[in-house]
Amino acid sequence: MSVPLLDLKAQHATIRDDVVAALMSVVDQQTFILGDAVGQLECSVAGLSHTKYAIGCANGTDALLLALRALNVGRDDEVVTTPFTFFATAGAIHNVGAKPVFVDIDPRTFNIAPDAVATAIGARTKAVIAVDLFGQMAAIERITSAANGVPVIEDAAQTIGASRVINGVRVMAGEAATIGTFSFFPSKNLGGYGDGGMMVTQDEALFETLMKLRVHGGRKTYYHEIVGYNSRLDTLQAAVLQAKIPYLDAWSGARRKNAAYYDAAFADLPEITTPYIDPANTSIYNQYTIRLAGRDALQAHLKRVGVGNSVYYPLPLHLQPCFAYLGYSEGQFPESERAAKEVLSLPVYPELTTAQLDEVIAAVRTYYGR
């Protein structure tokens, strides 16, 4: 037997009829570019995120890029963000001509430390990108207040449908930021059958700008007020995602149940730290990420016995070769560097059976001789 890290075929099997019907409807209508399903999905995601506006785009990386452009971030500007994230977060900053300014993470949640944000804000800071890592929201209200009026982009690629209670009110991922961004990459909790992304905002002027930016900078065809991109959400992807959206809540619940099952099973292993979820947060567990000393040896063992796993992320962004020009060095962000050496993500996808969960648990326990 073996347990994969993620089993997209298992999920597809449960929704095949819905998805195929949705796809064939687009094929029969031949409305591949900005067809009805795009607007329908934008309504669904705006509703889910408690935002006034949602704008589909080509992928989660472009969602960050368009968000930065909409906030007029460009050359000579600085954007404060975390070095412990998927590359796209900082890549988008570089690609609008701005400078990524990294600050360290909170070691418990892996999300950017609000106090560190406060110290990094300067005259050139044009935006902050907070990342919601592994399925739980960053402390968005503390980051917003640390940003002191600077716009905050929430990279919510891993948290669609996650929430956080702020002053007694349940706030959804993307809701409280200046612009929230989502990815529909197949391995995200709401994954398409290819690339896709979306931006959400409460601000009408930003909505108008984002709508322009995704179609070459104009809302009227062949008239261009700004220079934009070709970054539309494909209708076929929107149709798949709209068909999947009714299941999202139950899938997130199943992931939480799987996470709780692991938490209980690993509770007596002092060698490993199970995920810490901020009590204000409801996580959607895009990943179930443990941390431990000597991670590589456990990883090798799991590989040997056929248990899927992965390291997100092995090299913090301030140490990536492409960012050498920024002048950071090892030791500058000790929590991010330690996390990169200690994290290991285990299978947590909703279709896991109890037998599969037990197999993962047995593999870990055997390694420790328990």
Ligand X SMILES: *Cc1c(COP(=O)(O)O)cnc(C)c1O
Count residues binding ligand X (CB under 6 A): 15
Using the Cα atoms of residue 288, residue 286, residue 110 and residue 48 in order, give the sign of their dihedral: negative
d(CA 129, CA 131): 6
Q: How far is the CB of 64 from ligand X (least distance, A)?
A: 6
Contact 186, 203 (CB under 8 A): no
Q: How far is the CB of 259 from ligand X (least distance, A)?
A: 18
| CA-based nearest residue to 126, from 63, 94, 78, 90 | 78
Enumerate residues 197-216 that contact ligand X by CB under 6 A.
197
60 in contact with ligand X (CB under 6 A): yes
234 in contact with ligand X (CB under 6 A): no
183 in contact with ligand X (CB under 6 A): yes
Stretch that binds ligand X, among 44-52, 82-90, 97-105, 136-144 (CB under 6 A): 82-90
Dig out the tokens for 240 from the structure.
């798949």
| CA-based nearest residue to 125, from 149, 145, 154 | 149
Crossing angle, helix 235-244 and helix 8-29, to 10 degrees?
Answer: 130
Stretch that binds ligand X, among 12-20, 68-76, 83-91, 318-326 (CB under 6 A): 83-91
Dig out the tokens for 93 from the structure.
């900053």
189 in contact with ligand X (CB under 6 A): no
Which one among 158, 178, 231, 242 touches ligand X, defined by CB under 6 A?
158
131 in contact with ligand X (CB under 6 A): yes
Q: How far is the CB of 141 from ligand X (least distance, A)?
A: 20
155 in contact with ligand X (CB under 6 A): yes
Alpha-carbon dihedral 154, 156, 162, 166, rounded to 10 degrees: -10
d(CA 185, CA 156): 12
d(CA 124, CA 114): 18
Q: Which is nearer to ligand X, 62 or 342 (CB)?
A: 62
| CA-based nearest residue to 53, from 157, 174, 137, 159 | 174
Stretch that binds ligand X, among 22-30, 53-61, 202-210, 323-331 (CB under 6 A): 53-61
Tokens 């050359």: give the residue: 75
185 in contact with ligand X (CB under 6 A): yes
Q: How far is the CB of 173 from ligand X (least distance, A)?
A: 12
Alpha-carbon dihedral 309, 315, 320, 326, rounded to 10 degrees: 140
Stretch that binds ligand X, among 8-16, 68-76, 85-93, 295-303 (CB under 6 A): 85-93
59 in contact with ligand X (CB under 6 A): yes
The footprint of ligand X (CB under 6 A) covers: 59-61, 85-86, 88-89, 131, 155, 157-158, 183, 185, 195, 197
